[in-house]
A and B are shown apart, each in its own frame.
Chain A
Amino acid sequence: MKKALNIITAALFFTFVCMFAVSTFILSNEKPPKPTERSFPKLAEDYVRKSFPLMANWRSLYSTMITAAGQNMIGSVYVSDNGLIEIISKADDKKVAEKVTKINDFAARHERSNIFVLVVPTASGIYSQQLPMIINALDQQKLIDDLYFSLDGRIQTLDAYNPLFSARDDYVYFRTDDRWTEYGAYTVYSKVIRKLGFSPLGLSSYDLEYADRDFYGDLYKETYCSTVRSDFINIFRNKNGSFVTSFSAISEGEEFNSSSIYYTPALATEDKLDVFLGGNSFERYTIKTSNRDAPRLLMIKGRYANMFVPFLTPHYSEITLIDPEQLTDKSIEDLVDVDSYDQILMLYDVSQFC
């Protein structure tokens, strides 16, 4: 009896282990690393982590056990009652200096252009006072102030911190993603648009469309924390109809054309937030509107820009967005004639400096 139970124990262990080990290779879409590659052990471990069967379930089990034990930090993500917050604890001074230099150099090259910079805080900055005092979250307001202070005097700065902080009790950040919501973007738009020379459209000018009521973002996919409610993806539709006449996005010579800036098929995919401008994988986006006499805007975009752009379309005849992250060996000047634009807006979020 004892021997039989011992054999069952060992057999159970090896069956389970072998089953998962074999499935890792069979079910994986990833290409296994070659032993000749540099840092092979790390690559192999990463491959296993990415390809291991039922990964979401393992992560969910881990999160459940950790939160049940009273822990509320999973990696760098804080689990609060209201959602998941990625904690940014410090800025990368080198990155900040590099980015400031790049912005100042760009401004020096285009002296006659109207350049605006908008740095958006992340949820960690807005909700830092609600986090346990032991969690060392970066003072993002100070970082943004310091950053603005280091910019060339010709560059006009826009404040996103205060509007978002004032609206912090509203749905301005996703509960399961590290980006802001459409409403968060609207909150900032309604305050900064005056500095760009326009009057904001009131909330009453929009119809709210619930594009998706069951959205789980990147932070959820990092933690699989089951205690957090799903998010909504809202689309603000202008009551007077869309101003957009054409939308095109280019990446590595391939062009994507549409008459809408909302790419609704993305709602059926893993990355539902790609519904805004088709995602972040393009190097250049061009939006043309029916406001023929309105100014033209060039936007140097970060990940937060996609939700912000829909609110700008009633004010411009053309909006061109360039994503510097997607430019490998090209410069912004290679893609567009910068000086031909009436305004240039650089939109970053704090995580790009950390």
Chain B
Amino acid sequence: MNFSGIVFLYFFLPLFFGIYAISKPFMRAYVMLLGSCAVIAWESPLGLIPFSCSVLIAYLGGLGCKKLKNNKKAATALLTVCILPEIAVPILVFVIGASEIGIMTTVGAGIYTLHSISYCCDVFRGECEAVTDPLRLAAYVSFLPSLDGIPLVEPKKTLEAMKEPKLNSEMLADGILLMLFGTIEKVLISDRLAMLFTEMQETSGGELSMIMSWVGAFFFGSAMLCRLKGYAHIAQGFAMMLGFDIGPSFDYPYSKSSLKDYLASYNISAYRFVQKNVYRPIAGSESNHARTLTASTISIITVCISYKPSIPFLLWGTGAALLITIELLADHQLSKIPRPVRYILTHSLTLIGWGIISQKTAVASFGYVSRMFTGALNLDAAPLLYFLSSAGPFVMLLLFFEAKTFITMLKRVSARKVNPIMFIKPFLVFALLVICTAFLLSGGQTASRWEVPIG
């Protein structure tokens, strides 16, 4: 079940929330688990099998790590045994393709796999208590608002909050608003930009000019950012409705002027997960330069292929790791470059990255990137104008939401004694709901033409 779909918004959400709200607080985690099972089973009931396996592994792994906390070697071996079957799925996807392994790649597979790993690692490090209630653990592993693929939530904080989630009117209203806003980002901005990118590729017959290649990469990157941001806002809003504060997943990546900052601000929870569970164990506590660089390289590649285990994503990750390594090594020299120049350089490099992952195969990725530099120099005035004018309103909307000043202004207004936003909230919710409904009911066919890979 897609959280940005009409079935979720009009049928699942009110039904689920009704049951959740009337349940006693200590029962709510179990209601959430039921909701997660319904979402997973909606596409295929067989999807519950890998999910159950993942929960079982996390449960036994957590208890085992707790028991073996005085025997580091045995605990490490147990942790390895727990993690291996979890990471086997993405590795299999990478090697033989998603369609070949059927039920293993069902809804939420990415998120519950990473939640299981995160939980086991935290228990192993002693940062989180092992949970004795397998159902509460299952509710965390499948954390319902994140089932669309984003964001990852912290085990300790979430498991604690799951004991007795409390509902409050402010979080409920804000959650609804944020969820609808996320849906708008996905169906209005992301889907339209994605469609324009597809049209651009189809009409050029794969022979985009140099300028069009750069514009196309921008469309693709913006569509992907908006889709992920949309899903993250839906998850954050949905979690707020259920009484959880999971925080934002993006920190204005378009405003960053270094690749490292860009990566850290893009899908923050995935970055944190990799930092905690990949970077730190490899880098260790000693300040060994080579080890640090190896750790950061592996971490960046892991983040990148976590979106989709495929060759273009591996290429993207490797390229990003290389560039960030250079950035780290030459930090002193780079700091002398004027900020606007560095900003342009950073975002040009990210556009190349989008160009790589916009294609399905490595050959197509190389072809696209080579066109970004060696494509025909013609200005393509008519098609370029058509695409720019078609994308214009959506890009403006995206940049408006991405501008820090807009949010700062909103925060300032909200902090005032008489908060006008408070008064317009009901109208805003109504307007967004009407727009969402119109797009969800009518724009489905365009959305299905294109899928941004995530999770």
Contacts and interface: CB of A to CB of B under 8 A. Distances in A.
Contact of B438 (A41, A65, A75): A65
Interface string B225-267: 0000000000000000000000000000000000000000000
Residue in B17, B177, B437, B446 whose Cβ sees the most chain A Cβ within 10 Å: B437
Contacts of B173: 5-7, 9-10
Given A16-B433, A21-B14, A69 B386 contact: no
A133 B202 contact: no
A41 B11 CA distance: 13
Given A24-B10, A71-B192, A134 B203 contact: yes
Nearest to B172: A10
Contacts of A341: none
Report which residue of A5, A65, A89 has the largest number of chain B beta carbons within 10 angstroms of its beta carbon.
Answer: A5
Contact of A14 (B14, B170, B199, B386): B14
A208 interface: no
Contacts of A12: 426, 429-430
A49 B176 contact: no
B383 interface: yes
A49 B6 contact: yes
Contact of A5 (B202, B387, B426): B426
B85 interface: no
Nearest to B195: A73
Interface string A1-21: 111011111101110111011
B82 to A, nearest CB: 32
B362 interface: no
B194 to A, nearest CB: 13
Contacts, number: 118
Nearest to B43: A41
A135 interface: yes
B429 A70 contact: no
A295 interface: no
Interface in B26-45: 42-43
Interface residues of B, number: 51
Interface in B77-133: none
Contact of B425 (A6, A18, A44, A89): A6
A79 to B, nearest CB: 13
Contacts of A133: 382-383, 386
B443 A62 contact: yes
Contact of B387 (A2, A52, A69, A134): A134
A49 B423 CA distance: 33
Given A41-B43, A58-B437, A134-B203, A13 B176 contact: yes
A335 interface: no
Of the four ranges (under 10, 10 to 19, 20 to 34, 35 or more), the interface on chain A belongs to 35 or more
Contact of B11 (A21, A59, A75): A21
B10 A20 contact: yes
A48 B10 contact: yes
Contacts of A9: 173, 176-177, 425-426, 429
Contacts of A41: 1, 7, 42-43
Contacts of A20: 10, 437
Contacts of B170: 2-3, 6
Nearest to B441: A58
A130 to B, nearest CB: 14
Nearest to B430: A12
B284 interface: no
B122 to A, nearest CB: 34
Residue of A2, A9, A21, A133 with highest tally of chain B CB at under 10 A: A9
Nearest to B397: A69
B394 A69 contact: yes
B379 interface: no
A150 interface: no
Nearest to A71: B390
Contacts of B442: 58-59, 62-63, 74
Given A135-B203, A136-B203, A49 B441 contact: yes
A55 B444 CA distance: 14
B389 interface: yes
A59 B13 contact: no
The winner among A8, A44, A62 for most chain B CB atoms within 10 A is: A62
Contact of B426 (A3, A8, A49, A89): A8
Given A6-B170, A62-B441, A45 B386 contact: no
A135 B10 CA distance: 35
Contacts of B443: 62
A69 B5 contact: no
A300 interface: no
A59 B441 CA distance: 7
B9 interface: yes
Contacts of B389: 70
B169 A16 contact: no
A62 B433 CA distance: 13
Contacts of B5: 45
Contacts of A48: 6-7, 10-11
B134 interface: no
B295 interface: no
Interface in B417-455: 419, 422-423, 425-426, 429-430, 433-435, 437-439, 441-446
Given A12-B430, A13-B429, A69-B394, A52 B203 contact: no
Given A9-B429, A12-B430, A133-B383, A44 B192 contact: no
Contact of B435 (A65, A73, A74): A65
A228 interface: no
Nearest to B15: A21
A138 interface: no
Given A58-B437, A63-B442, A136-B203, A10 B382 contact: no
A63 B386 CA distance: 19
B392 interface: yes
B393 interface: yes
Contacts of B392: 70
Given A3-B169, A52-B6, A136-B199, 7 more contacts: A9-B176, A13-B429, A16-B433, A17-B433, A21-B11, A21-B14, A70-B390
13 contacts: A1-B422, A13-B429, A16-B430, A20-B437, A21-B11, A41-B7, A48-B7, A49-B444, A58-B441, A61-B438, A75-B446, A133-B383, A134-B386
Interface of B: 1, 5-7, 9-11, 13-14, 17, 42-43, 169-170, 172-174, 176-177, 192, 199, 202-203, 382-383, 386-387, 389-390, 392-394, 419, 422-423, 425-426, 429-430, 433-435, 437-439, 441-446
